Amino acid sequence: MTAVHVYMALFGLLVVEGMGVPGIPFEPVFLAAGYLIERGEMNFWGAVTVGSAGNLLGNLIGYWLGARPGRGLIERFLHRGWGPDGLATTRDWLGRYGAAVIIFARWFGPIRTPAILAAGVLGMNPGIYALYSALGAFTWTLAWQYASWKGAHYLLGWWQLYRRYATWWMDALLIFVLLAITAGSIYYCWRRRMEGNGKK
């Protein structure tokens, strides 16, 4: 995978994520960018700029969908997810803390999607929404990309040290541990899903 591919993936995934689509796995592309930044094949600020632009574009698309063609559908979605008082509560939040809600929601998954979609439905000023969405997208992307870059730096350092002293049995143990973690994660997600279905 080249730097161009990672830039494209970073932009595309963050557009979709910025629209408020839940469950988008954006973390791997940040890690891939961090790895290439550490290797000198990508520029840190270039990655932040591309990611921020993609995320902001997604936010604006989400706002437009809520304000225009998807308004009725999104109102039903928010009503179903938040209950009968959900939109009223959101309207109150946006009225009191409009800018802060948009930036704050950028950092917390459970309220990110409703805040993006409700801003358009409730008619928040588009200029104010765009400004604070830009601030939220930039700070969020900056934090994720910096953490991924430094994480790649320490991970590569650890890997080089490990390869210097590794033996076959250490490789086998590492593979076993990774498989155990993967299996445990899959089992945990399966249990959570079954418990969630049982409550319905």
Total domains, the chain: 2
Sign for the pseudo-dihedral over CA of 5, 6, 10, 13: positive
- In the chain, the largest separation of any two C-alpha atoms, in whole Å, equals 62
Question: How far apart, in whole angstroms, are the C-alpha atoms of residue 85 and residue 104?
Answer: 21
Contact 6, 42 (CB under 8 A): yes
- For residue 148, what pLDDT band results from cuts at 50, 70 and 90? confident
List phi, psi (to 5°) of 166: -70, 145
Same domain, 111 and 22: yes
Same domain, 98 and 186: no
Same domain, 172 and 149: no
Same domain, 68 and 130: yes
Residue 52 pLDDT exceeds 90: yes
- Residue 155's pLDDT is what? 66
Same domain, 113 and 178: no
Query: What's the number of CA atoms in the CB half-sphere (13 Å) around residue 57?
Result: 13
Same domain, 138 and 171: no
Which domain does 198 fall in, by range?
Answer: 167-200
Q: C-alpha angle with apex 196: 13 to 108, nearest 5 degrees?
A: 40
pTM above 0.85, yes or no: no
- For residue 87, what pLDDT band results from cuts at 50, 70 and 90? low
For residue range 18-47, what is the model confidence (pLDDT) as tens digits?
887 767 778 888 888 888 888 888 899 999
Same domain, 65 and 159: yes
